[in-house]
Structure 1
């Protein structure tokens, strides 16, 4: 992906912060039941660094800027849903909820999700389930749900919403779903511009794909470094043609996925017809490419890559979940030919 000079500096700064506060190290030392929760230092960081408000008018950030951050957090296997937090700020501004936005950017984050297929507004009540989301315990006290008719409902945790964990193979992030049963009159609501629900879903999926490709880029770098050091039959394995081919294939997958996602990011501001096809194509390819990179990394690492102590399986699990939580590769490809 071709970044501007400012975006390169943003990536460099965020990578340095994540290296200093390693999410994987935090996971291994603090995870309960094997699943990580967001480091409180990281949650504070996205507030103080302005990431929560990056897409607001005053901040002047773009989806491409957020893509840089999504990629870096994927590269570090961070438990912070950085894109979702930033997109929540964007939606709160669109809804005109200035007080909620001020609370959000101050660190009292709102969890934002879209309505799952069972969600419906039945007369004066909202009843149903949300789409899956990455849980942040300090944010799950306030849940915002965007319905398909482009209305934002803000529901406090004591007002008819129950957030329940979802078991996945992803050990780097806790996933959850919200169940709603609340009177419309008891919650705050605001109309959104037409098409906001669809735009949010596409943007969240594109940034999740960037997360996967960031993880794939990390696996590429680690695999190349391992191939330079690991010796077999009296030579480093990186000198073997088959290993060279695997590493080259990984590099091509990462570069191509970044290029397709760059086109999708550029299209996020467009209308449904102009946005949907680039998004579906990029998300499908990025999921396939990231999975392929993880598989090749496993092959080059050999037996060590299968151990619990090695980080490779954490990235593999994360990439697998990213590629299925918003629909499978097959789903995206089918959408392209409709």
Structure 2
């Protein structure tokens, strides 16, 4: 029986699991779902026919290869840094390989060997990147078929909530790995605007936003997403004067998130080593100047010059001013 293996049963995998579990049953295929947490994998499959779950230790080559050997197609929904590791296993074992992540240099270097073995490796199969590429090409192909010249292309995408689900000040919820949300935007973004090359470093990213409005939905913050110029050739827009791929968030999100960037809270290059029993308030205070007279809130307002009520409300909703203990770390 043809078998599809999904590695990773996290938030981003949920709808993929549901879709393939249903389609495998109809087409006489088997879906094998593997995760470090086998109970989570079991619960995601909901006991549907033609499905099976397993535990996998992704850092153990034998654990990976035993499961990959059982599959015809492997879909990695693991963190992006694991994709090249799994891809090498798939090359060795002769399995087709898919991800929803950006195509990395490590995977590009495998192209010759992939082609020699007659395998199909496909990345960027998600919403962004993925569906946005298809909608972009559809629009551009239709324009070119009419003889029109494309002089500007801007594409914005985001994992946004339905209006009825916007029940917190951020108007945002985790639908993918929370760590990836925290680290989003690290590195310098690049695009071209009216033939001028533009670079946006991380510390400027959430300041350099464009307001994008949609009738009936209101305003959104749009900010540049990684390297837009890498898509000029892919999109067939080599000489276009303006090309930008961006991310959408609800209006006000970027200004509030920029507080964390300015403080350095999103920097994952060091370990904090907070004492056990530390509180959220102490965590925030660790990033603020020392004062024997000002409160945490006052120090933050003094440090972040453009703090307003809407931004403060978002931060307060997260609970970072509370004297509640941080989760225990191992």
Give the shorter-chain TM-score range.
under 0.3
Question: Larger radius of gyration, structure 1 or 2?
Answer: 2
* TM-score using structure 2 length: 0.23
* TM-score using structure 1 length: 0.22
